[in-house]
Amino acid sequence: MCHHVPTCPDARDPHATAAHTVSDHDVDQGWQLLCNGLIVFHDGGCLVPP
């Protein structure tokens, strides 16, 4: 999914939240989609893609 060079960390990597933001809805809905498929919520929780 990531096209950055170097590639962003995988969604299961300990540093997964360092990936680039693809879609930012933090202000209005409280979440961000990262290029590795990880969804990060403003409270620090996250959903990892299957």
Segment 4-50, tens digit of pLDDT = 888 999 999 999 999 999 999 988 999 999 999 999 999 989 999 98
- Residues spanned by the domain of 30: 1-50
pTM of the shown model: 0.86
pLDDT at 44 (0 to 100): 87
CA–CA separation, 37 and 47 (whole Å): 9
**How far apart are the C-alpha atoms of 12 and 36, rounded to whole Å?**
9
24, containing H or E segment: strand 21-25
Domain count, the chain: 1
What pLDDT, on the 0 to 100 scale, is given for residue 1?
61
